[in-house]
Amino acid sequence: MASHRDSRLFKLLLPPIVLLLLCVIACCVGQYGISLSELAHSITQYFFSTADKTDIDTVLWDIRIPRIGAAILVGAALSMAGATYQGMFRNPLVSPDVLGVTAGAGLGAVMAIYFDLSFFLVQVMAFGFALLVVFIVYLVAKLARHHDPILSLVLSGVAIGALFGSAIALVKILADPYGQLATMVFWMLGALNMVNREDLLMSTPIILLCMVPLILLRWRMNILSLDDKEALSLGVNVNRTRIVFILSATLMTATAVSITGVIGWIGLVVPHMARLWIGPDFRKLLPMSLFIGAVFLVLTDTIARTCFPIELPLGIITAFVGVPFFLSLLIRGGVRK
């Protein structure tokens, strides 16, 4: 019994500890190397001294720490959103872009790039178009009264997402191939080097606010995985609770995508990793998805900026990690069956 309790405690504590160690490593490695003693000195000086900033302080506090913070925030948000979607739609293949959020954010961003707007307006338009897609999808689903509400939501999300995806392709065709097109492609593959401290200050409250209902009501996700009639008999308003979860996850995804671009596979693969690690109970699965998602993105970002002669877009790294893992899950699941 004690051994089982120790094993459970180990599983709960390991991801936060790994995340902390990875953050220290990510602070130290890069083109400008920082030793552990220099890291400790810079942190002490930042909080307890008014001395002028050194080069190490600039690299650490203006570049790396905002970037690591963004990796934690976005990785946690996309992973929690993915776990929520998979639970709400009872489908392990669902990812956060099922309602067309990614396509909407992508269209807003490429249009802003096409009209040569500032990077801040690129983020604003990405966020605005992501919300616009959600509004249209929700409106269409409400109009389709003769179908199951969740099915209507998914089908309208797929259709509107495809429409916005076609619009992205059209803007790419019209874009300048020697300047704008490269910027659009880079944004669509996702990166953290564009995120600064102001972006974090703006997006963190929104994402944390969206996480609150997911965390506080995560036990209801277990009930929603049951048959609707059974869930209703347990006193849960199925449709209203699902809508709250889906809107929270969608707004969280839209905020994350607007500051980093499209980073694929995290929302699909990380919930499976968390499920393998801690089990399917959403009371543990959701917090574990948060930590493992943060670990995954901090690790891939550190690899992307340190292991290659040039910095690779994160979407490439996450695809190279996510696709083999997902296929192995698919094959192993088929063998067991």
59-107 pLDDT, tens digit each: 998 889 999 999 999 999 999 999 998 888 777 777 767 778 888 888 9
Tens of pLDDT, residue by residue over 278-327, are: 988 999 999 999 999 999 999 999 998 888 888 888 888 888 888 888 78
With a cut of 50, say whether residue 133 has pLDDT above it. Answer: yes
Given a cut of 60, whether residue 153 has pLDDT beyond it is yes
Q: Sign (positive/negative) of CA torsion 312, 297, 251, 230?
A: positive
Under CATH, which number does the domain 18-320 receive? 1.10.3470.10
| pLDDT score, position 325 | 80
pLDDT higher than 60, residue 336: no
pLDDT value of position 335: 44
Q: What pLDDT shows up at residue 333?
A: 61
pLDDT > 70 in the chain, percent: 96
Confidence grade of residue 337 (pLDDT, cut at 50, 70, 90): very low
Question: For residue 1, what pLDDT is reported?
Answer: 58
Lowest mean pLDDT of 22-26, 168-172, 205-209, 236-240, name the range: 236-240
Which pair of tokens denotes residue 118?
Answer: 């500032």
Length of the chain as a residue count: 337
pTM for the whole structure? 0.86
CA–CA distance, 266 with 177 (Å, rounded to integer): 30
Could you report how far apart the first and last alpha carbons of the chain are, in Å? Answer: 31
pLDDT band at 233; cut points 50, 70, 90: confident
What average pLDDT does range 273-282 have in this prediction?
90
More confident of the two residues 246 and 50:
246
